[in-house]
Amino acid sequence: MKNKRYEKELRSLHGELVGMQEWVKASGAKVLIAFEGRDTAGKGGTIKAITERVSPRVFRVVALPAPTERERSQMYIQRYIPHFPAAGEVVIFDRSWYNRAGVERVMGFCTEEQATRFLEQVPAVEKAMVDSGIILLKYWLEVSPDEQTRRLESRIDDPRKTWKLSDMDLASYARWNDYTRARDDMFAATDTAWAPWFVAHSDDKRSARLNVITHLLSQVPYEAPHRKKVKLPDRKVRDATPDDTHFRYIPTPFNGEGDAAAS
Protein backbone atom coordinates (compact mmCIF):
# COMPACT_ATOMS: atom_id res chain seq x y z
CA MET A 1 0.00 0.00 0.00
CA LYS A 2 1.27 3.46 -0.92
CA ASN A 3 2.08 5.72 2.01
CA LYS A 4 -0.23 8.54 0.87
CA ARG A 5 -3.30 6.31 0.91
CA TYR A 6 -2.18 4.67 4.15
CA GLU A 7 -1.86 8.00 5.94
CA LYS A 8 -5.27 9.13 4.67
CA GLU A 9 -7.01 5.95 5.82
CA LEU A 10 -5.14 5.92 9.13
CA ARG A 11 -6.13 9.51 9.86
CA SER A 12 -9.80 8.58 9.46
CA LEU A 13 -9.43 5.49 11.65
CA HIS A 14 -7.64 7.51 14.32
CA GLY A 15 -10.69 9.71 14.54
CA GLU A 16 -12.85 6.63 15.06
CA LEU A 17 -10.48 5.34 17.74
CA VAL A 18 -10.82 8.64 19.60
CA GLY A 19 -14.59 8.23 19.37
CA MET A 20 -14.27 4.72 20.80
CA GLN A 21 -12.03 6.05 23.54
CA GLU A 22 -14.62 8.62 24.59
CA TRP A 23 -17.32 5.93 24.65
CA VAL A 24 -15.11 3.66 26.77
CA LYS A 25 -14.58 6.48 29.26
CA ALA A 26 -18.24 7.49 29.37
CA SER A 27 -19.67 3.97 29.54
CA GLY A 28 -17.09 2.39 31.83
CA ALA A 29 -16.37 -0.34 29.29
CA LYS A 30 -13.41 -2.68 29.76
CA VAL A 31 -11.52 -3.72 26.63
CA LEU A 32 -8.58 -6.13 26.47
CA ILE A 33 -6.74 -6.76 23.21
CA ALA A 34 -4.07 -9.46 22.95
CA PHE A 35 -1.62 -9.49 20.05
CA GLU A 36 0.29 -12.64 19.20
CA GLY A 37 2.37 -13.78 16.23
CA ARG A 38 5.83 -14.83 15.22
CA ASP A 39 8.83 -12.52 15.54
CA THR A 40 8.62 -9.68 12.98
CA ALA A 41 4.89 -10.24 12.38
CA GLY A 42 4.27 -6.54 13.04
CA LYS A 43 2.72 -6.56 16.50
CA GLY A 44 4.60 -3.51 17.75
CA GLY A 45 3.87 -1.42 14.66
CA THR A 46 0.18 -2.31 14.77
CA ILE A 47 -0.06 -1.40 18.44
CA LYS A 48 1.72 1.88 17.77
CA ALA A 49 -0.75 2.67 14.97
CA ILE A 50 -3.65 2.03 17.37
CA THR A 51 -2.29 4.13 20.22
CA GLU A 52 -0.68 6.97 18.28
CA ARG A 53 -3.54 9.47 18.68
CA VAL A 54 -5.36 8.30 21.80
CA SER A 55 -4.82 8.99 25.48
CA PRO A 56 -2.29 6.80 27.33
CA ARG A 57 -4.56 7.19 30.36
CA VAL A 58 -7.22 5.17 28.53
CA PHE A 59 -5.18 3.00 26.16
CA ARG A 60 -2.48 1.18 28.07
CA VAL A 61 0.12 -1.13 26.49
CA VAL A 62 1.45 -4.08 28.49
CA ALA A 63 4.64 -5.87 27.40
CA LEU A 64 5.84 -7.95 30.31
CA PRO A 65 9.49 -9.02 30.64
CA ALA A 66 10.57 -12.55 31.47
CA PRO A 67 9.05 -13.70 34.78
CA THR A 68 10.96 -13.30 38.01
CA GLU A 69 11.73 -16.24 40.28
CA ARG A 70 8.76 -15.29 42.44
CA GLU A 71 6.46 -15.09 39.43
CA ARG A 72 7.61 -18.50 38.23
CA SER A 73 6.30 -19.95 41.49
CA GLN A 74 2.84 -18.40 41.01
CA MET A 75 -0.17 -19.69 39.15
CA TYR A 76 0.84 -19.09 35.54
CA ILE A 77 -1.69 -16.41 34.60
CA GLN A 78 -1.36 -14.62 37.94
CA ARG A 79 1.17 -12.03 36.78
CA TYR A 80 -1.08 -10.96 33.92
CA ILE A 81 -4.24 -10.41 35.97
CA PRO A 82 -3.15 -7.14 37.69
CA HIS A 83 -2.88 -5.57 34.24
CA PHE A 84 -6.45 -6.41 33.18
CA PRO A 85 -8.59 -3.34 32.43
CA ALA A 86 -10.76 -1.54 34.94
CA ALA A 87 -13.79 0.50 33.90
CA GLY A 88 -12.94 3.06 31.23
CA GLU A 89 -9.73 1.37 30.09
CA VAL A 90 -8.39 -0.32 26.97
CA VAL A 91 -5.44 -2.61 27.68
CA ILE A 92 -3.32 -3.94 24.82
CA PHE A 93 -1.02 -6.89 25.46
CA ASP A 94 2.06 -7.06 23.24
CA ARG A 95 2.30 -10.80 23.74
CA SER A 96 0.18 -12.22 26.51
CA TRP A 97 -0.47 -15.30 28.60
CA TYR A 98 -0.25 -17.18 25.29
CA ASN A 99 3.53 -17.10 25.66
CA ARG A 100 3.06 -20.48 27.31
CA ALA A 101 1.48 -21.95 24.20
CA GLY A 102 4.09 -20.41 21.91
CA VAL A 103 7.62 -19.36 22.77
CA GLU A 104 7.76 -21.15 26.12
CA ARG A 105 6.63 -24.41 24.61
CA VAL A 106 8.77 -24.22 21.48
CA MET A 107 11.92 -23.03 23.24
CA GLY A 108 11.64 -25.41 26.17
CA PHE A 109 10.87 -22.87 28.92
CA CYS A 110 7.98 -25.01 30.10
CA THR A 111 7.28 -28.72 30.02
CA GLU A 112 4.90 -30.33 27.56
CA GLU A 113 2.66 -31.17 30.50
CA GLN A 114 2.53 -27.50 31.54
CA ALA A 115 1.71 -26.39 28.01
CA THR A 116 -1.05 -28.99 27.69
CA ARG A 117 -2.54 -28.00 31.05
CA PHE A 118 -2.49 -24.35 29.99
CA LEU A 119 -4.36 -25.08 26.77
CA GLU A 120 -6.96 -27.05 28.72
CA GLN A 121 -7.50 -24.35 31.34
CA VAL A 122 -7.30 -21.06 29.45
CA PRO A 123 -10.75 -21.24 27.77
CA ALA A 124 -12.41 -21.29 31.20
CA VAL A 125 -10.27 -18.37 32.38
CA GLU A 126 -11.21 -16.35 29.31
CA LYS A 127 -14.88 -17.26 29.82
CA ALA A 128 -14.62 -15.79 33.31
CA MET A 129 -13.01 -12.65 31.86
CA VAL A 130 -15.81 -12.19 29.35
CA ASP A 131 -18.50 -12.94 31.94
CA SER A 132 -17.00 -10.21 34.14
CA GLY A 133 -17.70 -7.67 31.38
CA ILE A 134 -14.35 -7.54 29.59
CA ILE A 135 -14.50 -7.19 25.81
CA LEU A 136 -11.72 -9.65 24.88
CA LEU A 137 -10.16 -9.54 21.42
CA LYS A 138 -7.32 -11.87 20.38
CA TYR A 139 -5.33 -11.18 17.21
CA TRP A 140 -2.75 -13.38 15.52
CA LEU A 141 -0.59 -11.59 12.94
CA GLU A 142 0.48 -14.05 10.26
CA VAL A 143 3.75 -13.35 8.43
CA SER A 144 5.17 -15.55 5.67
CA PRO A 145 8.59 -17.22 6.02
CA ASP A 146 10.11 -15.17 3.18
CA GLU A 147 8.89 -11.90 4.65
CA GLN A 148 10.11 -12.85 8.11
CA THR A 149 13.56 -13.51 6.65
CA ARG A 150 13.57 -10.16 4.88
CA ARG A 151 12.59 -8.29 8.03
CA LEU A 152 15.15 -10.03 10.21
CA GLU A 153 17.91 -9.36 7.68
CA SER A 154 16.91 -5.68 7.62
CA ARG A 155 17.60 -5.47 11.35
CA ILE A 156 21.18 -6.68 11.19
CA ASP A 157 22.83 -3.41 10.15
CA ASP A 158 20.09 -0.91 11.01
CA PRO A 159 21.00 0.87 14.27
CA ARG A 160 17.31 1.66 14.82
CA LYS A 161 16.39 -2.02 14.82
CA THR A 162 19.33 -3.93 16.26
CA TRP A 163 17.63 -4.07 19.66
CA LYS A 164 14.91 -6.17 18.00
CA LEU A 165 17.38 -8.87 16.99
CA SER A 166 18.08 -10.96 20.07
CA ASP A 167 19.68 -14.36 20.50
CA MET A 168 16.18 -15.67 21.16
CA ASP A 169 14.98 -14.31 17.82
CA LEU A 170 17.77 -16.12 16.02
CA ALA A 171 17.07 -19.38 17.83
CA SER A 172 13.34 -19.06 17.13
CA TYR A 173 13.96 -18.35 13.45
CA ALA A 174 15.22 -21.90 12.91
CA ARG A 175 12.06 -23.39 14.40
CA TRP A 176 9.41 -22.25 11.94
CA ASN A 177 7.66 -25.62 11.79
CA ASP A 178 7.67 -25.99 15.58
CA TYR A 179 5.96 -22.61 15.90
CA THR A 180 3.45 -23.60 13.22
CA ARG A 181 2.49 -26.72 15.17
CA ALA A 182 2.28 -24.71 18.41
CA ARG A 183 0.06 -22.11 16.73
CA ASP A 184 -2.26 -24.77 15.33
CA ASP A 185 -2.56 -26.50 18.72
CA MET A 186 -3.28 -23.16 20.35
CA PHE A 187 -6.02 -22.32 17.87
CA ALA A 188 -7.60 -25.76 18.20
CA ALA A 189 -7.76 -25.51 21.99
CA THR A 190 -8.56 -21.83 22.55
CA ASP A 191 -10.57 -20.58 19.56
CA THR A 192 -13.90 -20.42 21.40
CA ALA A 193 -17.26 -18.79 20.79
CA TRP A 194 -16.65 -16.32 23.63
CA ALA A 195 -12.98 -15.60 22.80
CA PRO A 196 -12.24 -16.41 19.14
CA TRP A 197 -8.93 -15.85 17.40
CA PHE A 198 -8.82 -13.30 14.60
CA VAL A 199 -6.01 -13.71 12.05
CA ALA A 200 -4.55 -10.89 9.97
CA HIS A 201 -2.04 -11.41 7.16
CA SER A 202 0.80 -8.99 7.83
CA ASP A 203 3.26 -9.23 4.94
CA ASP A 204 2.02 -5.75 3.97
CA LYS A 205 2.36 -3.96 7.29
CA ARG A 206 0.31 -0.92 6.33
CA SER A 207 -2.64 -2.93 5.09
CA ALA A 208 -2.45 -5.16 8.17
CA ARG A 209 -2.59 -2.19 10.53
CA LEU A 210 -5.59 -0.68 8.76
CA ASN A 211 -7.37 -4.04 8.63
CA VAL A 212 -6.82 -4.75 12.31
CA ILE A 213 -7.98 -1.29 13.41
CA THR A 214 -11.05 -1.51 11.18
CA HIS A 215 -11.91 -4.93 12.60
CA LEU A 216 -11.23 -3.81 16.16
CA LEU A 217 -13.65 -0.90 15.77
CA SER A 218 -16.30 -3.29 14.43
CA GLN A 219 -16.00 -5.49 17.53
CA VAL A 220 -16.54 -2.75 20.11
CA PRO A 221 -20.15 -1.51 20.29
CA TYR A 222 -19.20 2.12 20.69
CA GLU A 223 -21.07 5.27 19.85
CA ALA A 224 -18.97 8.41 19.88
CA PRO A 225 -20.50 10.83 22.40
CA HIS A 226 -21.71 14.17 21.08
CA ARG A 227 -19.10 16.85 21.58
CA LYS A 228 -20.16 20.40 22.17
CA LYS A 229 -18.66 23.06 19.95
CA VAL A 230 -15.45 24.46 21.43
CA LYS A 231 -14.47 28.11 21.33
CA LEU A 232 -11.26 29.41 22.85
CA PRO A 233 -11.85 32.05 25.54
CA ASP A 234 -10.36 35.52 25.33
CA ARG A 235 -7.03 36.07 27.05
CA LYS A 236 -4.55 38.83 27.63
CA VAL A 237 -0.88 38.55 26.75
CA ARG A 238 1.47 41.20 28.03
CA ASP A 239 2.98 43.37 25.35
CA ALA A 240 6.39 43.80 26.93
CA THR A 241 9.03 41.25 25.93
CA PRO A 242 9.95 39.23 29.02
CA ASP A 243 13.52 39.08 30.19
CA ASP A 244 14.40 35.49 29.33
CA THR A 245 18.17 35.81 29.44
CA HIS A 246 18.25 33.48 32.47
CA PHE A 247 16.55 30.65 30.59
CA ARG A 248 18.73 27.65 29.75
CA TYR A 249 17.91 27.26 26.07
CA ILE A 250 19.15 24.13 24.35
CA PRO A 251 21.40 24.37 21.26
CA THR A 252 19.52 24.68 17.94
CA PRO A 253 21.33 22.61 15.29
CA PHE A 254 17.96 22.46 13.47
CA ASN A 255 15.86 25.46 12.54
CA GLY A 256 12.17 25.72 11.81
CA GLU A 257 12.63 24.55 8.24
CA GLY A 258 14.43 21.39 9.31
CA ASP A 259 17.82 22.56 8.02
CA ALA A 260 20.96 22.76 10.11
CA ALA A 261 21.23 26.15 11.77
CA ALA A 262 24.29 28.28 11.33
CA SER A 263 26.79 27.84 14.10
The model's pLDDT over 149-165, given as tens digits with 9 standing for 90+, comes to 999 999 998 999 888 88
Does residue 75 lie in a domain region? yes
Does residue 124 lie in a domain region? yes
> pLDDT digit string (tens) for 224-256?
888 889 999 998 887 666 666 678 888 888 887
Q: Other C-beta atoms within 10 Å of 214: how many?
A: 13
Q: Give me the phi and psi of 197, to 5 degrees please.
A: -90, 135
Does residue 163 lie in a domain region? yes
Length of the chain counted residue by residue = 263
Does residue 169 lie in a domain region? yes
Number of domains, the chain: 1
Assign 114 a pLDDT band (cuts: 50, 70, 90).
Answer: very high
Does residue 250 lie in a domain region? no
Report the chain's C-alpha Rg in angstroms.
Answer: 22
> pLDDT digit string (tens) for 21-35?
999 999 999 999 999
Cβ distance 30 to 86 under 8 Å? yes
Cβ distance 190 to 197 under 8 Å? yes
User: Domain span at residue 102?
Assistant: 3-219
Residues in contact with 223: Cβ distance below 8 Å, sequence separation at least 6, in sequence order: 19, 23
Does residue 240 lie in a domain region? no
Report pLDDT for 262.
Answer: 46
Does residue 143 lie in a domain region? yes
Measure the N-to-C terminal CA separation of the chain; round to a whole number of Å: 41
Does residue 257 lie in a domain region? no
Find the CATH number of the domain harbouring 206: 3.40.50.300
Report pLDDT for 77.
Answer: 95
